[in-house]
Amino acid sequence: SPGDSVVTLLDYGAGNVRSVRNAIRHLGFDVKDVQTPEDILNANRLVFPGVGAFAAAMDVLNKNGMAEALCSYIEKDRPFLGICLGLQLLFESSEEKGPVKGLGLIPGVVGRFDSSNGFRVPHIGWNALQIRKDSLILDDVGSNHVYFVHSYRAMPSDENKEWVSSTCNYGDNFIASVRRGNVHAVQFHPEKSGDVGLSILRRFLYPKGQLTKKPTERKALKLAKRVIACLDVRTNDKGDLVVTKGDQYDVREHTKENEVRELGKPVELARQYYKDGADEVSFLNITGFRDFPLGDLPMLQVLRYTSENVFVPLTVGGGIRDFTDANGRKYSSLEVASEYFRCGADKISIGSDAVYAAEEYLRTGVKSGNSSLEQISRVYGNQAVVVSIDPRRVYLKNPEDVGFKTIRVTNPGPNGEEFAWYQCTVSGGREGRPIGAYELAKAVEELGAGEILLNCIDCDGQKKGFDIDLIKLISDAVSIPVIASSGAGSAEHFSEVFRKTNASAALAAGIFHRKEVPIQSVKEHLLNEGIEVRI
């Protein structure tokens, strides 16, 4: 029938649902948006990618009669796929800013992960599934990792065991997916889980299809260390958006013309890295601190195009702050972030503005709630907010010389200094601020950051390895995931950072752009070293 090629999508406008749309279209279906409860009842297949906070989602569903329609649709065993919050909302209640009542279709309470046992919260990254029963849509997953990003989870119990089709281990064995008849829901993001994720969606959309992907030989065991490709983006002197790469943040050629170094086109490179097995792709709009990003329509276009066929998480940073344009029109950082999310970003990354927010918080001891970091994480959840730190190493003879956290360095400074602190900078490294990376990291964790992207100006583009002292310091200081960045020159540098520090991910730019070290060879090296990775 004509409706056969249509997927009905329940999107209440709270986050990035573009990727789900793109994935459905990629698999040959049209998307019809739910406008009224009747659209739910009349759906041939319904996808519900819940985003945002539990309470806010329940409010929307209750207000316009969607909750009742959803329950009735599911109770009739009509084809349903809930994703992430779309799984959690099926339970009785959630502790997220609650207790808050859910749809009550599955017995159980959604609770927060416990970070006291050494597991970082949010649970971000590629993890393994333990299949509990025939789940149909997970038939191709077998031994592959899938992508999770959440701080709350439901637990299996005797009361809900008829539902639980797989679990995942992260401190707890929590519910990764449920199935009863034609009703499915998954805690992870199939639309962000690469080929394996697409095969899950395909099996939901074409339930009688053949096996699409042979499970790999190697069984995924636990949360994988992520390898991230980063694209520093800016306009060149001709006004085109290009991928550039600096040496210690200097992106200009040292020639007479002093032109911006160009290493490729953003959309093409992102696609290439996705094919090569990057676990995530980050775009940093490196002149965003001075140019207003919503004036920078090409960057939004880059995100839209990239998310059409890159099915791993996308992060975008640069210029996320309040802004008043030439006509006096005010834009809040939340509007900037919302536009990025609408265009296909899964996470936004804040640099300079997070430094100012942390300074203010440390000075006053009060969370104002007004910083971009706090506002965006309140609305989109802290898992969607990365803070990018751009510190510079400052050597010291004497650790008492500054009022910031100092460390004894592994390699002494140029004048034999044995100590250092890491000074935060803003505006792409142009201005040093009176705050250390350690103090900043702890403050932004309290203000609601879900992850830290830890650069190091001294190491950037040098290919001599990550700053292990810095990454150890920060990854031991916070309980949110830390992405190690700056200085990768070989596959061995990745295994070193994962062996010596508690980094959850490692990011590189130059070696990937110059094709000096392919992503695949980094992954293979890590695998050979016994480090869990997604292959």
Which range binds ligand 1PR by CB under 6 A, 82-90, 95-103, 163-171, 244-252? 244-252
What is the helix (H) or strand (E) element at residue 387, kind and residue range?
strand 385-389
CB of 389 to ligand 1PR, least distance (A): 8
Whether residue 191 lies in the annotated active site: yes
Applying CB under 6 A, which of residues 108, 122, 266, 318 lies at the interface with ligand 1PR?
318
Q: Which residues contact 479 (CB under 8 A, 6 or more apart)?
A: 115, 120, 121, 445
Other residues' Cβ atoms within 10 Å of the Cβ of residue 338: 18
Tell me how far CA of residue 120 lies from CA of 145, 451, 482, in angstroms: 18, 10, 9
Nearer to ligand 1PR, 152 or 361 (CB): 361
Catalytic choice (145, 150, 184, 189): 189
381: left (phi over 0), alpha (psi -120 to 50) or beta: left
Applying CB under 6 A, which of residues 246, 266, 277, 448 lies at the interface with ligand 1PR?
246
CB of 519 to ligand 1PR, least distance (A): 12
Which range binds ligand 1PR by CB under 6 A, 252-260, 338-346, 396-404, 508-516? 508-516
SS (H, E, C) 306-363: HHHHCCCCEEEECCCCCEECCCCCEECHHHHHHHHHHCCCCEEEECHHHHHHHHHHHH
What is the helix (H) or strand (E) element at residue 229, kind and residue range?
strand 226-235
Site for ligand 1PR in 467-486 (CB under 6 A): 485-486
CB of 223 to ligand 1PR, least distance (A): 23
* Tokens encoding 318: 């640069």
CB of 444 to ligand 1PR, least distance (A): 12
Q: Does 319 bind ligand 1PR (CB under 6 A)?
A: yes
Q: Which residues contact 375 (CB under 8 A, 6 or more apart)?
A: 332, 333, 334, 369
Q: Does 390 bind ligand 1PR (CB under 6 A)?
A: yes
**Which strands make up the sheet holding 164-170, listed edge to edge?**
30-33, 6-9, 46-50, 80-84, 183-186, 172-180, 164-170, 130-131
Q: Under a CB-based contact definition with an 8 Å cutoff, are residues 492 and 525 in contact?
A: yes
Tell me how far CA of residue 496 lies from CA of 221, 419, 490, in angstroms: 21, 22, 10
Query: Distance between the two ends of the chain, CA-based, in angstroms?
Result: 39
Q: Does 451 bind ligand 1PR (CB under 6 A)?
A: no
Pairing of strands 407-408, 419-426: antiparallel
Question: How far is Cα 380 from Cα 301, in angstroms, rounded to an integer?
Answer: 22
Whether residue 189 lies in the annotated active site: yes
Whether residue 84 lies in the annotated active site: yes
Applying CB under 6 A, which of residues 286, 314, 348, 373 lies at the interface with ligand 1PR?
286
Catalytic choice (11, 308, 390, 496): 390
Nearer to ligand 1PR, 70 or 260 (CB): 260
Applying CB under 6 A, which of residues 284, 373, 384, 519 lies at the interface with ligand 1PR?
284
Spatial CA neighbour of 164 closest among 177, 182, 181, 146: 177
Tell me how far CA of residue 519 lies from CA of 231, 266, 268, 294, 468, in angstroms: 14, 17, 16, 32, 21
Applying CB under 6 A, which of residues 317, 391, 436, 481 lies at the interface with ligand 1PR?
317
Q: Does 455 bind ligand 1PR (CB under 6 A)?
A: yes
CB of 386 to ligand 1PR, least distance (A): 9
Which range binds ligand 1PR by CB under 6 A, 112-120, 172-180, 315-323, 416-424? 315-323
CB of 121 to ligand 1PR, least distance (A): 23
Spatial CA neighbour of 314 closest among 525, 59, 104, 16: 16
Applying CB under 6 A, which of residues 122, 197, 351, 450 lies at the interface with ligand 1PR?
351
Applying CB under 6 A, which of residues 47, 149, 440, 509 lies at the interface with ligand 1PR?
509
Q: Does 391 bind ligand 1PR (CB under 6 A)?
A: no
Site for ligand 1PR in 199-238 (CB under 6 A): 230, 232
Nearer to ligand 1PR, 436 or 461 (CB): 461
Spatial CA neighbour of 455 closest among 410, 513, 510: 510
Question: How far is Cα 389 from Cα 449, in angstroms, rounded to an integer?
Answer: 12
Q: Does 156 bind ligand 1PR (CB under 6 A)?
A: no
Q: Draw the binding track, 25-54, toward ligand 1PR (x: CB under 6 A; -: no contact).
A: ------------------------------
Applying CB under 6 A, which of residues 140, 353, 451, 469 lies at the interface with ligand 1PR?
353
Tokens 């599911």 belong to 74
Sign of CA dihedral 244, 298, 228, 424: positive
Q: What is the dihedral of CA 163, 139, 126, 98, to 10 degrees?
A: -20
CB of 244 to ligand 1PR, least distance (A): 8
Catalytic residues: 84, 189, 191, 232, 390
> What is the contact surface with ligand 1PR in residues (CB under 6 A)?
230, 232, 245-246, 249, 251, 284, 286, 288-289, 317-320, 349-353, 388, 390, 428-429, 455, 460-461, 485-488, 508-510
